[in-house]
Amino acid sequence: MNPSQLDPINDVPLHPRPGIVDPPERYGHFDEDTGEYIITRPDTPQPWYNYITNGSFTGFVSHTGGGTCYGRNDSVEKRILRTHLHGRPADQPGRWIYIRDRDNGTFHAATWAPVYTPLNRFRYEGRVAPGRSTITAECNRIRSRVTYFVGPDAEAELWLLTVTNPARRTRRLDVFPYAEFFLWSLARDNNLDSGFKCTDVAVDGRVIVHRSYYDWGADRGGWKRQYAWFASSTATSSFDTNLEAFVGVFRGYDRPLALAAGRCGNFSNRGGEPVAAMQIPLTLKGGASRTLVFAVGYAGSDAQAARQGRRVAAVAFAREQLAKVRRHWRAYLDRFQADTPDATFHVPFNTLTPYQSAITFVCSRSISPYQLTGGRGLGYRDSNQDTLGAMPYQPAAASRKLIATLLGVQKKAGDACHDFFPGTGAGAGGGYSDDHLWSALSVESYVKESGDLAFLDKEIGFHDSDAAAPVIDHLERALRFAEKNVGAHGLPLLRRADWNDCLNAFEGAESVFTAGLYCAAAKAVESLHAARGETAKARRCAKRHAAMAERINEAAWDGAWYRRLITRDGKAVGARSNRYGKIYMESNVWAVIGQAAPPDRAREALDSVRRCLGTPYGHRLCAPPYPDYDPHVGTLGIFAPGYKENGAIFCHTNPWLIVAEAMLGRGRRAYDVFARLSPYTKDRIQNIHCAEPYALSSMIIMPPNLEAGRARNPWLTGFVSWMLAAMGRWILGIRPDFDGLVIDPCVPRWKRFGVRRVFRGTTCVIHVDNPEGVERGVRELRVDGKEVEGNKVPVLTGTKTVRVNVVMG
Ligand code: GLC
């Protein structure tokens, strides 16, 4: 036992990053007026991404045009463009646009990559905005501006490009857009022996159609042709459709053959590596601009591809679609806006954090430069949690549909499949102790947001039976499953694992985390019964909650915090007696969120978490990390110490700590947990954080790892779902209830702040005054000037806007 390893990490040693020479201080900053992010240098520590989607066609695009896109959000079989994920630092290939001066042969790329013109000759600005990314550049006295987005009315991504000649003399230019096609699935694309041999192209003036056979399996039609297309709005003077033809052999993308020659070779690919490259001649008089559109999509036939390409790659269509993208996201975000004394809080809260949560809701963990992009479906627990962040912004039907789909892969016994495939609705896997319990939280949250109590009576089937049962019965089954599958101390069995996938080698262990989650789920089901007037059932839930809470407190209190697991032979994990993993975040925060911990223990457990797991960069998942794989602990130890579940800041757990602190009314503490991870905080340490500061990352590496402070896996993470929920529901304290909107801020003594929140069709314009600077407590509430008892704005059907004045104290 080495107690010193539990000392707080107040100072994290920093080491130079590999591959970065003389790092500049900053690469960008938030635009406080719009909440968008402006990248001012393209040589960022790693590619900084944005997502573009219409909900079914989705791509990720880096700030230099890298990334890929997927049709039907299908990361297994419908990836359209190639990008080498293992070569991610190089961010190649991408959706690039070369611009060449026909008179002197000099060229650069409007996307900076892949030519990488020295920055003293290249002016760059990248803009990351909801639904679109824009790169503005000036090089060789040519200005360009390209915006990437997905058309709301097209299964395609569009590149809207404007080229300007700021000088006086006429410029004769050629624009060469470039992208590489992917062979639909990773396995097929990797099979060089056969994959490329099935490819060929049809070139129809402005549209290149890439065709390739793909095996959909006997039950889905077997070998069928797939069609992807690349189109230009403007006539081309040459094209290439094969990698060797455009780039050449033993040449890089920075000086491809076609750019050296000043034209493409008009090569029609037959059985080689398929690309789309075009040459578009532009003559620009002094001061003149030209707008062009390129687009990428997929289709069911040559004719359809040509039709779609021509329809989508058109300037008027692209402008109209881009305007729609802007309007869509503005309306989405306008449903919940805050104005506080601290931009650190409200700038991310108002724009890019809810945008990221919407992307996570759509993509789960599947369309990503970092995570599994094949094979696995969407996670039962992950998607349930993702609804929590997106709920206030989504149309009710979107949350309802996902929650119902998830309940459809619950098993009759009450537990659930671990994954489900959105394309088919099929479930897969299972055996975890927690999956099924998350549904209680998402259903409660949905019903409170929407008022749709009837959803509880909706009949939904099970994964392993044709019988259907009402939603409320599904939730009861989840609770009963947990109650029946308990160990010697009456706590739920860990089974394969619980939320922490990597604590997975404890045959027969009991999970204190799942016990806490069960308590939260029992409270949720209690409130749902009560809302339906089923008071006896509600009372029973309260008793079941109390019984589990008692067991947690009897079996799992370790003196200053809650243990994490109790093994079959009665030993503890997450206890002082352990050498490694003495304390874990999950069991402690969920004992509080599940209202199992009595007040003194709740405070002490959270104090211990803060003391033992806190670092300037956020709070770690456990400490000390395990030095190596231990078959008695689980796959946690396969990660280097300080990485992922093995003692990193596994960020997903931090907003739980915010919620728990807020439930205790400790506003400054809750805010402090938030502030350590806020995008603004990360924006001040761009060279340490490395990942894009405007997106929340799934984890931050911790000592003893040499890359301490570096973030990994930005964008698709339960962290964003919970962070948004913690900021909106717990710090701002705006929480829907069945019969109104609760206003219960828990703040760092802000003297005043404002919130706009749409709730059941009414826009509540909320002003909060806090004359004494308290952390929590509402002493006065007025709705349109009239005093209301308590701290709940009643549902006001038919009222468009209300003024809500709140005085804390
Ligand atoms: C990943 C998984 C999630 C799990 C977490 C902790 O984020 O997607 O399901 O709960 O890791 O292991």
Render 750-787 in DSSP notation, one character per residue.
-SEEEEEEEETTEEEEEEEE-TT--SB-EEEEEETTEE
Q: Is the CB of 500 under 6 A from ligand 1?
A: yes
Q: Is the CB of 429 under 6 A from ligand 1?
A: no
Rounded alpha-carbon distances, angstroms, from residue 707 to 17, 335, 648: 7, 39, 11
Q: Is the CB of 365 under 6 A from ligand 1?
A: yes
- Ligand 1 atom nearest the C-alpha of 501 is 12
Reported pTM: 0.97
Q: Is the CB of 501 under 6 A from ligand 1?
A: yes
- Ligand 1 atom nearest the C-alpha of 698 is 7
pLDDT at position 87 is 66
Euclidean distance between CA atoms 53 and 606, whole angstroms: 39
Query: What is the three-class DSSP state of 76?
Result: coil
pLDDT at position 804 is 98
Query: What is the three-class DSSP state of 147?
Result: strand
Kindly tell me the sign of the dihedral angle through the C-alpha atoms of 562, 564, 566, 571: negative
Q: Is the CB of 351 under 6 A from ligand 1?
A: no
Can you list the alpha helix ranges (DSSP code H) found in 629-751? 653-663, 667-677, 679-683, 686-689, 718-725
Per DSSP bridges, beta strands 289-299 and 156-164 are antiparallel
Best mutation site among 371, 382, 385 for ligand 1, i.e. most ligand atoms within 8 A of its Cβ? Answer: 382
Classify residue 118 by burial, with Cβ atoms within 10 Å: 0-12, 13-18, 19+.
exposed
Structure tokens at 505: 């080698």
Q: Is the CB of 379 under 6 A from ligand 1?
A: yes
- In the reported structure, the alpha carbon of residue 82 is separated from the centroid of ligand 1 by a whole-number distance in angstroms of 27
- In the reported structure, the alpha carbon of residue 155 is separated from the centroid of ligand 1 by a whole-number distance in angstroms of 31
Q: Is the peptide bond before 118 cis (omega within 30 degrees of 0)?
A: no
Structure tokens at 731: 């710090």
pLDDT at position 220 is 86
- Ligand 1 atom nearest the C-alpha of 497 is 12
User: Could you tell me which of 484, 498, 521 has the C-alpha nearest to residue 573?
Assistant: 498
| pLDDT tens by residue, 274-293 | 999 999 999 999 999 999 99
| pLDDT tens by residue, 178-227 | 999 999 988 888 888 888 888 899 898 899 999 999 888 898 889 999 99
Mean pLDDT, rounded, of the chain: 95
By alpha-carbon position, which residue is closest to atom 5 of ligand 1? 500
**Which residues lie across from 51 on neighbouring strands?**
60
Q: Is the CB of 188 under 6 A from ligand 1?
A: no
Low-confidence ranges of the chain (pLDDT < 50): 1-4
Euclidean distance between CA atoms 527 and 533, whole angstroms: 10
pLDDT at position 248 is 97
Rounded alpha-carbon distances, angstroms, from residue 655 to 175, 517, 711: 47, 15, 17
Q: Are 298 and 229 in contact (CB under 8 A)?
A: yes
Identify the DSSP state of 630: B
By alpha-carbon position, which residue is closest to atom 1 of ligand 1? 501
- In the reported structure, the alpha carbon of residue 500 is separated from the centroid of ligand 1 by a whole-number distance in angstroms of 6
Q: Is the CB of 644 under 6 A from ligand 1?
A: no
By alpha-carbon position, which residue is closest to atom 6 of ligand 1? 500
- In the reported structure, the alpha carbon of residue 2 is separated from the centroid of ligand 1 by a whole-number distance in angstroms of 29
Count of CB atoms situated within 10 Å of the CB of 787: 9
Query: What is the three-class DSSP state of 103?
Result: coil
State the catalytic residue, choosing from 189, 339, 501, 630: 501
Q: Is the CB of 382 under 6 A from ligand 1?
A: yes
- Ligand 1 atom nearest the C-alpha of 379 is 9
Q: Is the CB of 499 under 6 A from ligand 1?
A: yes
Best mutation site among 385, 499, 501 for ligand 1, i.e. most ligand atoms within 8 A of its Cβ? Answer: 501
- Ligand 1 atom nearest the C-alpha of 718 is 7
CB-based contacts of 404-408 (< 8 A; 24+ apart in sequence): 404/458, 404/460, 404/471, 406/380, 406/439, 406/442, 407/439, 407/460, 407/471, 407/474, 408/460, 408/461, 408/462, 408/463
Side by side, which strands form the sheet with 734-737? 734-737, 740-743, 792-794
- In the reported structure, the alpha carbon of residue 658 is separated from the centroid of ligand 1 by a whole-number distance in angstroms of 19
Q: Are 209 and 201 in contact (CB under 8 A)?
A: yes
Euclidean distance between CA atoms 598 and 587, whole angstroms: 14
Q: Helices 471-484 and 535-555, interaxial angle, to 10°? A: 30
Residue 7 designated active-site: no
Rounded alpha-carbon distances, angstroms, from residue 254 to 122, 136, 399: 15, 19, 45
- Ligand 1 atom nearest the C-alpha of 645 is 12
Q: Is the CB of 435 under 6 A from ligand 1?
A: no
- In the reported structure, the alpha carbon of residue 379 is separated from the centroid of ligand 1 by a whole-number distance in angstroms of 9
Strands (E) located in 378-451: 378-379, 419-420, 427-428
pLDDT at position 633 is 86
Query: What is the three-class DSSP state of 482?
Result: helix
Amino acid identity for residue 241 in this structure: T
Rounded alpha-carbon distances, angstroms, from residue 533 to 399, 424, 536, 539: 24, 37, 9, 11
Q: Are 514 and 481 in contact (CB under 8 A)?
A: no
Residues 6 or more apart in contact with residue 102 via CB below 8 angstroms: 172, 173, 174, 262, 281
- Ligand 1 atom nearest the C-alpha of 650 is 6
